[in-house]
Each structure stands twice: as C-alpha cells, then as structure tokens.
Structure 1
Amino acid sequence: MDMQSKTNAKQALNNLKMEIASELGYNYNQETNKVESNAPQGTLEGSAQNVLAGEEVGGLATRKLVKMGEQILVDKYNFQK
C-alpha cells in the first residue's frame, strides 16, 4: 500500500470514529486522535469515562467495519453468480 493510500485510509478511519463519537454523544479530539467523554477532563473520573467512551466507540467502529466487509463479500458473491 502506498503512502497516499495509507493516509487516506487513516483519515477515513478517523472520520468514522468522529462520526460514531458524535452519535454516542462523545467528543473526538482531532489533535490527540482520542475520544473524550463529557466528564471533566484532567480528573480521575474524566480519565475513566474517556476509557469507557473509547471502548464504546472502538467497539461500534469495529462492528460497522465488519458489517461493511461482510456486505462487500456478499455483493461480490452475488455478482459472480
């Protein structure tokens, strides 16, 4: 994979994370590339909530990516018939 493709893929993944974070009511910090909860930042509670938010966003992103991959395979299979 060339460097431009890697850059495009990374940007697309970041956009997906940002979209999911927004859907779930979290913030996506583009500078740090991390999901942040609405809890006060710089506190133990805020850090804990950020971890939970990141797990929730990451899990949903993974499920969406798997579903997209499955759909591509189904479409490819159906096209070859």
Structure 2
Amino acid sequence: MTKKPANPNAKAALNQMKLEIANELGVPSNNMYGSNKSAYENGVLGGRVGGQMSKRLVEMGQEQLIKQYNSKNR
C-alpha cells in the first residue's frame, strides 16, 4: 500500500483535514510533527488523528456513492 494520495492535488486538502481533526482533538498545531514528544506519544497521537481521518474519508465516500446511486435511480 502506498502513502501517496490517489490524486496529487489532494495533498493540501488532506493536510487541512489533518489540522482540523487535530484541533478538534485538542492537539496543538505547533506539536503536530512531534518534535517534543516520545515515539510512543507520537504513535498514540498519530493513531487518533489518522483514525479520525480514515473514518471521515470513508463517510465522505459513502455519501458520494449514495448520491451517485440516487441520481441513477431517478
């Protein structure tokens, strides 16, 4: 599995989503890249933010599929 986005233009949008989710979870943006934290703390933090990003991306994909399905069945 690759870490590259399917669409290279999506990188900025994914970074924006990451910052928004981190803000909602109370993670200070100046510590997003973990220079002041241990590897364990970064792993826990990254898991929380990454998990929420995955959840929201799946929800967005489901919404798009529902819209496509509904538009074809009208």
- The answer on 1:68 being equivalent to 2:60 is yes
> Taking every aligned residue pair, what percent have the same amino acid on both sides?
42
The structure with the greater share of residues assigned to strand is 1
Residue correspondences, number: 65
On the 8 A contact 1:17/1:61 being kept in 2, the answer is: yes
Distance 1:50 1:28 in 2: 13
- Counterpart CA distance in 1 for 2:54 and 2:29 is 17
Question: Which residue among 63, 69, 72 is the counterpart of 1:77?
Answer: 69
- Give me the whole-angstrom Cα distance separating, in 1, the residues matched to 2:28 and 2:43: 13
How high is the TM-score relative to the length of structure 2? 0.76
Distance 1:61 1:69 in 2: 12
Question: Cα RMSD between the aligned structures?
Answer: 2.0
Mind listing any 5+ residue stretches in structure 2 that lack a counterpart?
1-6
Displaced runs of 4 or more, over 3 A: none
Deviation at 1:50? 1.9
The structure whose RCO (Cα within 8 Å, separation 6+) is larger is 2
2: CA distance, partners of 1:78 / 1:72: 10
Kept after mapping to 2: 8 A contact 1:21/1:27: yes
What TM-score, normalized by structure 1, do the two folds share? 0.70
Cα distance, 1:27 vs structure 2: 2.8
1:27 corresponding residue in structure 2: 28
Please state how far the C-alpha of 1:49 moved relative to its aligned partner.
Answer: 1.7
Ranges in structure 1 where 5+ consecutive residues have no aligned partner: none
Could you report, residue by residue, the CA deviation over 1:6-40 in whole angstroms, capped at 9, with x for unpaired residues? 1x3100000000000000011345xxx73x4xxx9
